[in-house]
Amino acid sequence: MTFRTIQKKDLPPFIDHLIQTMEVVGVREKVEGKYEFAPLESSSQLCLDYDVTLLSPKKYILPSRETLLRFKTGEKVSCEPVLESRPRAIVGIHPYDLKGIAQLDRIFADANQDEHYRRKRQETLLIGVDIKRASSYAFCKSMNSAVVQQGFDLFLTDIGPSYVVAIGTKKGEDLLGQYATSKPSAQGEIAKRAEIQEKIPYFFSLNSVTTPYSELPKLLADHGESKLYEELAEKCFSCGSCNLVCPTCYCFDVQDDMALNLSEGERVRLWDGCLLDGFARVASGENFREDRAERIRHRIFRKGKYIYEKYGEHGCVGCGRCASACLPDIANPVEIFNRLKEGK
Amino acid sequence: MTTAAQVQTGSLGLTSIYLPALAEITRTEQLTKMEKLFEIRLKNGQELGHQPGQFVEVSLFGIGEAPISVSSSPTKKGSFELAVRSVGNVTKALHQMNPGAPLGIRGPFGKGFPVEEIKGKDILFVAGGIGLVPLRSLINYVLDKRSDFGRVIVFFGAKTPAEQLFLDELAKWRTSKEMEYLETVDRSEGSWKGNVGVITTLFPKVTLDPKKTVAVIVGPPIMYRFAILEAQVKGIPDDQIIVSLERRMKCGVGKCGHCQINDIYVCQEGPVFNYARIKNLKEAI
């Protein structure tokens, strides 16, 4: 990997140049202490020192509501795909969210490539940044997501007076060359970057999964019949918040939306969640995951077993958003994994 | 394991796995009070190209999509048939449609019955209610290639005589020399003189050679547990029991998540499964 150093004073002009050429989404403080990914009008709105955002940047690649098709009904029926995308940079993505996006890339580009996703993704530039402070629910060390060396176009590490920029792709390198004042990083700067990154996992020492990463599938399999899921189900509202805030949840519903003229309409996909009551219900009324405990178990197995067995990486990236979004406070994977291990 | 879906291209040259091919209804036939048969032809003149047991997503623009098993054998050319129970938004609207009406078709999707693997075997078909709809695609396929298979035994159970479907075919099967056909109804009505009782009551009526018999079982979720048990009692090994499982299939291409049994996307690896593959999965049967 190659590195270039950009002085701190030169970062805002770089972002402002980007804003003039494409949509730039960055981390902004929404209300005090709460952050979100939102379009930037100016570099001054960008915040690179944050704990976690309310939603992951997934929403720009797999939007919560996305038109897949437009159709006309009546005499002459027709139907066309809608493939909407535009050049966009997302700035300030933490490593766990980069991992989340890399996982979506795999799922949507697997057999049966999803062109709607692919086009948006192709036009999206990912600019990551190292974690400076941990959110109280995050457990990135346990999920190998505190630091990443891939899955970005550019990645910034604050080394004091400047940022060391890791170059992930040619596209990122070209953009940096075109719009930023930077120079090749000195050996000392690269060493400083490594030193900083080495410490980041330890921000999460107080919130750790007691089972090693690669042994989670076995832990879940061994405790598939645990009473814990029923205990959690007694408090669960089946609201699906844990699904909706998750950077790796990708399940969706598809609905038709008719225009008021009743002669044209669109088919849209909407985020869906496996915790919601009707998720597996078919038209006859049969619900294949009717029991709330089964739905909780399904989510936990997806996060700690199924995805790992398919792709070699866990579906959970340790951001802790589900834990903070859950009203009855039962969604925290750390607590679930650790209680399963303790057998209680 | 995943299957590659046919990808359609719109008139503007854009492709999407969610774009249906335009099709039209060429014939309809009311099968029972609740079930209607639709013969469908793709507007591009192509064959659907399905395997027995595969399904399509039927698209009614403005209403939505529903996954429906193909009921005709691929040996039938020019069009294909869906037998549909009126039960949800899409299927209720479909029942109002007449020949000439336009609709969209995506697919075929999923893995069908293993027609090559079961060649030369005795086949025991166990169809409960509208489980006959997907099974019919295989039964007719087997009958069209009769010499490739051993004994053909069909069990069909319906709740009442009025809920029997494909009556013309049942009438032929009753007298056919090429197959052994046994039927029952849960509740007798009218002039019914045949067997009365749930489908499992048919098992003791036949003698099988379990080593060379494959049982293909399709019915409502509740039926599997009992029918599989009866097949096991007959000595049929688990890996010679084949089932087709119903699930909510929204996308058909292994993405939307609704059809999952544990880590398995039923729309990709199923809907047809070897029982040995799924018997230990908590949510399967």
Whether residue B2 has pLDDT greater than 60: no
Lowest mean pLDDT among A126-135, A237-246, A286-295, B2-11: B2-11
If asked whether residues A161 and A35 sit together in one domain, one would say yes
In this structure, the number of other CB atoms found within 10 A of the CB of residue B262 comes to 17
CA distance B13 to chain A (A): 9
State whether A245 and A105 are in the same domain: no
Report the residue from A114, A262, A306 with minimal CB separation from B255.
A114
Q: Which of A115, A224, A306 sits opposite B15 (nearest CB)?
A: A115
Q: Last residue of some domain: A172, A187, A204? A: A204
Whole-number pLDDT of residue B3: 43
Exposure string over B85-123, b if 16+ CB within 10 A, otherwise e:
bbbbebbebbbebeeebbbbbbbbbbbbbbbeebeebbb
Check whether residue B100 and residue B143 sit in a common domain: no
The pLDDT > 70 percentage for chain B reads 98
Residues of chain B in contact with residue A266, where contact means CB-CB under 8 angstroms, are none
Q: Quick check: A296 and A332 in contact, CB under 8 A?
A: no
- Indicate if B135 and B208 belong to the same structural domain: yes
Which residues in chain A have their CB less than 8 angstroms from residue B20's CB?
Answer: 79
* Domain of residue B218, CATH code: 3.40.50.80
Contacts of A224 in chain B (CB under 8 A): 282
C-alpha A33/C-alpha B60 separation (Å) is 47
Q: Which residues are CB-contacts of B222 (< 8 A; sequence separation ≥ 6)?
A: none
A112 and B254 in contact by Cβ < 8 A?
Answer: yes
Residues 238-257 on A with a CB inside 8 Å of B are 250-256
Q: Last residue of some domain: B80, B109, B138?
A: B109
Q: Domain boundary residue among A204, A232, A257?
A: A204
Of A174, A204, A234, which residue constitutes the final position of a domain?
A204
To the nearest whole Å, the CA of B22 is away from the closest chain A CA by: 8
Residue span of the structural domain in which B61 resides: 8-109
pLDDT tens column, B129-158: 999 999 999 999 999 999 999 999 999 999
pLDDT confidence of B5, banded at 50, 70, 90? low
Is it the case that residue A16 has pLDDT exceeding 60?
A: yes
Phi, psi of A125 (to 5 degrees): -100, 125
Query: Which secondary-structure segment (H or E) carries B81?
Result: strand B80-85
Give the distance, in angstroms, between the CA of residue A32 and the centroid of all CA atoms in the same chain.
Answer: 22
Separation in Å, CA of B199 to nearest CA in chain A: 20
Asked if residue A129 and residue A10 are part of one domain, the reply reads yes
Give the range of the structural domain holding residue A182, as residue numbers without chain letter: 2-204
Mean residue pLDDT across chain B: 95
Facing residue for A79 by CB, picked from B17, B104, B262: B104
- Nearest CA among B110, B22, B115 for reference residue B75: B115
B110 phi-psi bin (left φ>0, alpha ψ -120 to 50, beta other): left
pLDDT in tens, A100-150: 999 999 999 878 899 999 999 999 999 999 999 999 999 999 999 999 999
What average pLDDT score do residues B216-233 get?
A: 96
Q: Are residues A119 and A24 both part of a single domain?
A: yes
End-to-end CA distance of chain B: 21
B-facing residues of A in 255-274 (CB < 8 A) are: 255-256, 258, 262, 265, 267, 269, 272, 274
Residue B14, pLDDT above cutoff 90: no
Residues 199-218 of A with CB under 8 A from B: none
What's residue A248's pLDDT?
Answer: 98
Q: In terms of domains, do A76 and A222 share one?
A: no
Tokens of B103: 């609709």
Contact A78 B11 (CB under 8 A): yes
Contacts of B19 in chain A (CB under 8 A): 69, 79-81
Question: If you average pLDDT over every residue of chain A, what do you get?
Answer: 96
Total domains present in chain B: 2
Q: Are residues A15 and A140 in the same domain?
A: yes
One domain for residues B156 and B213: yes
pLDDT of A274 above 50: yes
CATH of the domain at B43: 2.40.30.10
Binding-face residues of A in 76-135 toward B, CB within 8 A: 77-81, 83, 107-108, 110-116
Q: Are residues A193 and A111 in the same domain?
A: yes
ipTM for the predicted complex? 0.93
Question: SS3 sequence, B2-51?
Answer: CCCCCCEECCCCCEECCCCEEEEEEEEEECCCCEEEEEEEECCCCCCCCC
Give the tokens for residue B268: 């990709």
Contact B263 A289 (CB under 8 A): no
Q: How far is A207 from chain B (nearest CA, A)?
A: 28
Tell me, yes or no, whether B89 and B166 share the same domain. Answer: no
The proportion of chain A whose per-residue pLDDT surpasses 90, expressed as a percent, equals: 97
**Residues A88 and A168 occupy one common structural domain:** yes
Residues B189 and B80 in one domain: no
Same domain, A221 and A138: no
CB contact under 8 A, B2 and A282: no
Q: Are the C-beta atoms of residues A105 and A139 closer than 8 Å to each other?
A: no
Same domain, A317 and A248: yes
Contact A114 B17 (CB under 8 A): yes
Checking if the pLDDT of B1 tops 60, the result is no
Q: Phi/psi zone of residue B202: left (φ > 0), alpha (ψ -120 to 50 degrees), beta? A: alpha
Q: Tell me, yes or no, whether A159 and A305 share the same domain.
A: no
Q: Same domain, yes or no, for A168 and A297?
A: no
In total, chain B counts a number of residues equal to: 285
Among B85, B109, B133, where does a domain finish? B109
Torsion of CA B70, B74, B79, B81, to 10 degrees: -30
Residue A45 confidence (pLDDT): 98
